[in-house]
Amino acid sequence: MDIGGINLVVLVASMMVAAVPVLLAALGEAVVERSGVLNLGVEGLMITGAIGGFATAVWSGSPVVGFLGGALAGAALASVFALLTQVFLANQVATGLALTLFGLGVASLAGQGYDGIKPPPTGKVPFGPLTEIPVLGPILFSHDWVVYFSIAMTAVLWWVLRATRLGLIIRAVGESHEAAHALGYKVNRIRLMCILFGGAMAGMGGAYVSLIRVPQWVDGITAGAGWIALAIVVFASWRPWRVLLGAYLFGGITQLQLSLQATGSAIPVEYLSMAPYLVTILVLVIMSSGRGRATMGAPAALGQNFHASR
């Protein structure tokens, strides 16, 4: 199934892989923002998870332990954000931006000495004869476990936020922390747990880049994926299934521009490279204007600090 020298089956399969880092980070950030916290430090969390997961995998010899290390590294950095915004009531926007700069610096420092080192390989899930099914086999049954984990997390978070008491509490805190506090819920504690979860998910997304997507350590390896994840959350109107679609859209555009470059497209390489980010900006402009803005449904208390004594 080739069109213009591009194999559509390979393109779709590659799209699913390319979407994983931003999907994991965006799912975590969606939960954070549903609780009323705006964390702009996703890029810093991802690159911290990338070096944390890479170093852990190299020293342990296990990619699974590496992903755990990436999640812990992301959660650890997210705890700094939680301390500053939930305890000391620092401005969330400024703290998130500072977190990104801090994470980039820490990762650059910690990554010295890992250049040229290959991490332990992550094998594909063995589906046996299912991988031989025409078209569907390469698309659905030829990936590593993290691809399926990201899809499963999308379903789990959709169910939790939509159909469970925990999801109702998180949404209530994000819509009106004063009302939630009046009902007896520990607003800061709930937001703290959401922030740590978001940090762990972003850390896993970063670890996927350095352990599977690349796989090696390069300074600045996430290349703005955290900012794309933030944009996807807005594009998705804070709904997990829409986050999945937005991440696959970004992954598809990323892989398409790489395929066009490989086939010798007449379109300049610079234009192809900026295509994923340009499309993301256009989507945000559409969603933020007129009718699009009215249907976004942002949590009412998003970005607002809470203190019980107020």
What's the mean pLDDT in 175-200? 95
Q: In the 3-class helix/strand/coil scheme, how is 182-198 assigned residue by residue?
A: HCCCCHHHHHHHHHHHH
Q: Is 116 left (phi over 0), alpha (psi -120 to 50) or beta?
A: left
- Three-class secondary structure of residue 6 per DSSP: strand
Q: Looking at residue 289, what is its pLDDT?
A: 57
Q: Is residue 1 within 8 Å of 9, Cβ to Cβ? A: yes
CA 195 to CA 214: how far, in whole Å? Answer: 27
User: How does pLDDT run across 233-265, given as a tens digit for each residue?
Assistant: 988 889 999 999 999 988 888 888 777 777 766
At 283, the pLDDT band (50, 70, 90 cuts) reads: low
CA 88 to CA 63: how far, in whole Å? Answer: 37
Report which residue type is found at 58: V
What are the structural domain ranges in the chain? Answer: 2-115+139-294
Q: Of how many residues is the chain composed?
A: 310
pLDDT reading at 290 higher than 70: no
What's the mean pLDDT in 277-304? 68
Q: Is residue 293 within 8 Å of 285, Cβ to Cβ? A: no
Q: Is residue 254 within 8 Å of 17, Cβ to Cβ? A: no
CA 187 to CA 184: how far, in whole Å? Answer: 9
Q: Is residue 93 within 8 Å of 71, Cβ to Cβ? A: no
CA 238 to CA 53: how far, in whole Å? Answer: 27
pTM for the whole thing?
0.93
Mean pLDDT of the chain: 89
What's the mean pLDDT in 269-281? 71
Element (H, E) at 159: helix 145-163
pLDDT reading at 205 higher than 80: yes
Task: Classify domain 2-115+139-294 by CATH architecture.
Answer: Orthogonal Bundle (1.10)
Q: What angle do CA 94, 97, 98 make, to 5 degrees?
A: 85
CA 150 to CA 68: how far, in whole Å? Answer: 15
Instruction: Indicate the range of 80-84, 104-108, 174-178, 253-257 predicted with least confidence.
Output: 253-257
What's the mean pLDDT in 189-197? 97
